[in-house]
Chain A
Amino acid sequence: MNPDRPRVRINGSGLVVAAALLLAWEGAVRTGAVSFDALPAPSAVVGAARDLMATGELPVAVVHTLRVTVTGWVAASVIGVGLGTPLGRNATVHRWSMTSFEAAKAVPPITLVPAALLLFGFSLWMELSLVVFAGVWPVLINTVGGIHQVPTELLDVARTAGLGRWSTIRLVVLPAALPEIIVGLRLSLSLCLVLAVIAEMLGNPAGIGNALILAQQGLRPADMFVYVTAAGLLGVALGGLLRLATGRLFPAATIS
């Protein structure tokens, strides 16, 4: 075995507990121990998932939400680091604009749904604009905070080495701020997913959010559980992939 690679450990007791919870749920529904008549058993949810896979509805919805979330998150990250860098580096820029960004960050993104609907209608742009708006703030705030924490000695070294403005940012400032920025990227990714689902529920008729509302209106609880589970697995997968990627690319900057 390669000693450098972290051993994948399987959390046996954790899986047993999760399986036991599902079994208890199945048993409770089968024996009629719970009184909600709309509650499907896990086996019924699996059956519904198989049907939705066969018709293609489930993969189409998941892929849509996934693409919007990732696209919006990438855009939000670029904007967040792009705006956060001058804000963190330049005291004058910070003094003359940071409060405005703090105020914009306080806008609960869901309140922008009606405004986005007025502007873009029931469309993909409406969804993307909300996702990007929500995703920018954690990246921006953490970029500013990370840059503020860069030790002055490092900047002195850069100056002595005669690095220009861009090289200093690229080679010294951003790498030193990276641990904070990565935390912001993670927060941003989970927010982007939440806002994509919300925008799909209230606006853009596509993706997991919309499928969930349609299943609710059609009184198909098993289908609803399928989409809720899919959203949860999407969240786990996106978070896990990001952690894996940053761990591989920047092992020193990733706090687990």
Chain B
Amino acid sequence: MITRIPVLGLAPLVAVLAWWEWTGTPSSPYFPAPSSWWPALLDLHRDGLLGAALLSSARTFVLGLLIATVLGTVVGLAVGSSAVLDRALNPTLEFGRALPPAVLVPLATLFLGFDDGMRVSVVAFAAWWAILLNTRSARRALDGTLLDAARSMGLGQLRRHVRVILPALLPAVLLGVRVATPIALVITLLAEYLTGTTGIGGLLGDAQRTFRPARVYGLIVAGTALSLMVDGAVASMQHAVTRRRTAT
């Protein structure tokens, strides 16, 4: 599916960058001209750092988001289908949702160390609230007739969940994933930034500490590209699901 990008809308951005290029110099310590960003990225690429960093960030992010989606859906489904459980867990879930996920990164480094497992865990933990709470309220609002129909057709517990309930909840789950995506990306980069060395976050921290402004701006562009790709992927999944549902 090709979405048409309204190109005209890019005019102000292009104007700002052109003005920046016109007035800036490549050596400015604050506003290096945009033409110097690309060579700075190429430098990183030649050292073999850029590709590895992108891959490492993407891996942490995707793994974390996948774990969050599975756990969030399962727990949200369980909590949403029982009024008693829903009420009993509500304050705990509300606290978890309101907790700014960034504060967990230093805590996780203390208990889980500085490795991949720690990064994936904090990303999953940051991302799962939106998915869980969305799935829960969608399950709570699920049409009773749908459940009765499934039951009267004699579907067992498992088949009812796989064939009826999960497909009905899918749009809500995907909406949760879409909400969770930006925060998961921020936490991925934060975990890399704080622990150093790996990923786009690690490169950014390094570029800042060694005062390489052109590289900093180049990496901002790289991070933005990553975020646009991820959001585009989730959005097209959402479109595919809604289209299939309206088609049938």
- Residues from chain B with a CB closer than 8 A to the CB of A101 are 9
- Residues from chain A with a CB closer than 8 A to the CB of B122 are none
- Extra pairs beyond A197-B100, A201-B106 (6, CB < 8 Å): A14-B92, A17-B92, A99-B7, A111-B223, A212-B103, A239-B98
In the assembly, what is the distance between CA of A112 and CA of B98, in Å? Answer: 24
- Residues from chain A with a CB closer than 8 A to the CB of B90 are 11, 14
Evaluate whether A216 and B109 lie within 8 angstroms (CB atoms) in the complex, with A96-B12, A97-B9, A99-B6 already known.
yes
**Complex contact B91–A108 (CB within 8 A):** no
Give A contacts to B, CB under 8 Å. 11, 13-18, 21, 36, 38-39, 94-104, 106-115, 117-119, 190, 193-194, 197-198, 201-202, 208-209, 212-213, 215-216, 219, 221, 224-225, 227-228, 231-232, 235-236, 239
**Complex contact B216–A99 (CB within 8 A):** no
Among residues of B, the one whose C-beta sits closest to the C-beta of A15 is: B91
Which residue in A18, A107, A112, A209 is a CB contact (below 8 Å) of B102?
A: A209
- Residues from chain B with a CB closer than 8 A to the CB of A13 are 84, 87-88
State the main secondary structure of chain A at its contact with B.
Answer: helix
Cβ of B104 within 8 Å of any chain A Cβ, yes or no, is: yes
Q: Considering the complex, which residues of chain B in the window 114-149 have a beta carbon less than 8 Å from any beta carbon of chain A?
A: none
Contact string, B217-231, partner A, CB cutoff 8 A, digits 1/0?
101100110111001
Q: Considering the complex, which residues of chain B in the window 196-210 have a beta carbon less than 8 Å from any beta carbon of chain A?
A: 200-201, 204-205, 207-208
Interface bracket on B: 35 or more
A184 CB to closest chain B CB (Å) equals 13
In the assembly, what is the distance between CA of A62 and CA of B211, in Å? Answer: 31
A99 CB to closest chain B CB (Å) equals 3
Among residues of A, the one whose C-beta sits closest to the C-beta of B106 is: A216
Which residue in B10, B84, B101, B223 is a CB contact (below 8 Å) of A99?
A: B10
Evaluate whether A224 and B204 lie within 8 angstroms (CB atoms) in the complex, with A15-B91, A111-B219 already known.
no
Cβ of B233 within 8 Å of any chain A Cβ, yes or no, is: no
Cβ of B94 within 8 Å of any chain A Cβ, yes or no, is: yes
In the assembly, what is the distance between CA of A113 and CA of B95, in Å? Answer: 27
Evaluate whether A98 and B220 lie within 8 angstroms (CB atoms) in the complex, with A109-B186, A118-B208, A231-B99 already known.
no
**Complex contact A100–B98 (CB within 8 A):** no
- Residues from chain B with a CB closer than 8 A to the CB of A108 are 182, 185-186, 189, 223-224, 226-227
Cβ of B153 within 8 Å of any chain A Cβ, yes or no, is: no
**Complex contact B220–A115 (CB within 8 A):** yes
A187 CB to closest chain B CB (Å) equals 8
